[in-house]
Amino acid sequence: MNTYAYARVSARDQNLDRQIAAFEEFGVERDHIFSDKKSGKDFERKGYKRLLRKLKAGDLLVIKSIDRLGRNYDRIISEWTYITNTLGADILVLDMPLLDTRAKTDTLVGRFLSDVVLQVLSFVAQNERENIKARQAEGIRIAKQKGVKFGRPARTYSEHFLSVASDFLEKRVSSREAASELGISRENFYYHVKKIKSRLS
């Protein structure tokens, strides 16, 4: 039997150290810890897929909390069932010891409690993801009302470029001459002239 662990954070600038420290304290070997820095909305994650290829019957998968596994209610339940029933591995959630399939929940009450806790925590994980998205959308809406601009900033052009482009539009120079003066290709020149034409008209 091997013990593996899975850690996840949503963004590349977030830190996995707290989860990894908890796994090492539990006794998971460092090379048995798989991780992703990606959203929990689905399970299309490289680290998670590598983990599934390793898991065998009798192995143990340790996760810090259910939302580290994912944040999609239906998929959490589906993946949990696949790991425990199809692969035959066990799962332990460190932050919720009741979710420990090694106990095999021998009684009907035990299985019921385990299933209820899993479903409640899965619901909470998805609900939190939806709340985060709602807060982000609200923040963007308020920022736009205050005049905050999103997306790439508008490109600024030098006075030299604007002068040459103006000469071209007023037919004082050809496109070849203008492009040569600016040291760019004619296609590139046409592209930028089209973008600033309204400014010069």
Q: How many CB atoms lie within 10 A of CB 34?
A: 22
CA dihedral sign, ordered 43, 48, 53, 56: negative
Is 10 assigned a catalytic role? Answer: yes
Which of 32, 30, 37 minimizes the C-alpha distance to 8?
Answer: 37
Task: State the Cα angle at 111 between 107 and 112, rounded to 5°.
Answer: 115
Which of 137, 21, 120 minimizes the C-alpha distance to 67?
Answer: 120
- SS3 at position 3: strand
Q: Which of 10, 65, 166, 180 is catalytic?
A: 10
Tokens describing residue 96: 């919720």
For residue 94, what are the contacts with CB-CB under 8 A and spacing of at least 6?
A: 22, 26, 62, 63, 64, 65
The set of catalytic residues is 10
